[in-house]
């Protein structure tokens, strides 16, 4: 937490701004020096205010506060780089909430693994009326997260995240599976 910073001097000392009659008054100079010590951190924050609203530059405890501002979905135990990245991308993720790309990026940000998402919907075009409807007649979104250690994934958190980021009208399922070795997937 921010507080008094030892040795931080005010860029605008109040004692120098007093009328000349107080220039040699020891009490007035000590009193305004105390006010300078009180105001110096505030003036420092105001001088650097734009940095406080950048998740990459803000102090860590202020990033926690910014997370509440932008509605970042955090568990509270994220490492600092992930915390800063989540806060920086939260507004964009909220803008794309309910879309496939928004759901994919929300899960990828939270679990550092790209999910496989299948949907029931579809779109097609036909020059004649009464063509077949695309997609599955039962609506739904299915999210599969493939990770090296499925036991390390908090399935409840994944379920809550998908419930919040999916299209609101669609039922959903989530599944966590063991990731296949990358050696088998590479063509020879």
Q: Tell me: the pLDDT tens digits for 133-155?
A: 787 888 899 999 999 999 999 99
- Cα-flanking dihedrals φ and ψ of residue 14, to 5°? -70, -30
Q: What is the pLDDT of residue 133?
A: 79
Task: Inform me whether the pLDDT recorded for 7 exceeds 80.
Answer: no
Ranges 5-14, 71-80, 111-120: which has the least confidence = 5-14
Whether residue 2 lies inside any domain: the answer is no
pLDDT reported for residue 183 = 44
What is the radius of gyration, based on Cα positions, of the chain? 27
List helix spans (H) across 20-172. Answer: 26-47, 49-52, 60-70, 80-95, 100-111, 155-165
Would you list the DSSP string of 153-180?
S-HHHHHHHHHHHS-TTS-EEEEEEEPP
Q: Which domain holds residue 27?
A: 15-47
Residue 9 domain-assigned (yes or no): no
Average pLDDT of the chain to the nearest whole number: 86
Tell me: pLDDT of 96 over 50.
yes
- Quick check: is 70 in a domain? no
- pLDDT at position 6 over 80: no
Task: Kindly state whether residue 54 falls inside one of the protein's structural domains.
Answer: no
Whether 131 is covered by a domain: the verdict is: yes
Residue 126 forms part of a structural domain: yes
Distance CA 36, CA 9 (A): 7
- pLDDT recorded at residue 5: 63
Give domain status of residue 150, yes or no.
yes
Looking at 6, 29, 47, the residue that finishes a domain is: 47
How much is the average pLDDT of 69-78?
A: 84
CA count, 13 A, side-chain hemisphere, 138: 3
**Tell me, what's the pLDDT at 103?**
94
pLDDT tens-digit readout, 36-66: 888 888 888 788 889 889 999 998 888 989 9
**Tally of structural domains, the chain:** 2
pLDDT at 122 over 70: yes
DSSP 6: T
Instruction: Say if 149 falls within a structural domain.
Output: yes
């Amino acid at each position: 937490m921010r507080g008094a910073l030892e040795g931080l001097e005010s860029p605008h000392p109040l004692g120098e701004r007093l009328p000349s009659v107080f220039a040699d008054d020891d009490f007035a100079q000590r009193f305004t020096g105390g006010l300078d010590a009180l105001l110096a951190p505030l003036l420092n924050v105001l001088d650097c205010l734009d940095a406080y609203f950048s998740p990459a530059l803000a102090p860590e405890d202020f990033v926690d506060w910014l997370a509440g501002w932008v509605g970042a979905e955090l568990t509270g135990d994220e490492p600092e780089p992930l915390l800063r990245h989540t806060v920086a991308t939260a507004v964009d993720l909220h803008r794309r909430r309910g879309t496939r790309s928004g759901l994919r990026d929300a899960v990828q940000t939270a679990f550092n693994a790209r999910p496989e998402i299948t949907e029931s919907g579809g779109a097609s075009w036909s020059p004649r009326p009464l063509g077949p409807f695309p997609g599955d007649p039962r609506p739904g979104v299915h999210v599969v997260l493939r990770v090296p250690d499925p036991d390390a994934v908090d399935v409840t958190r994944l379920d809550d995240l998908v419930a919040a980021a999916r299209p609101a009208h669609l039922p959903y399922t989530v599944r966590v599976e063991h990731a296949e070795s990358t050696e088998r997937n590479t063509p020879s």
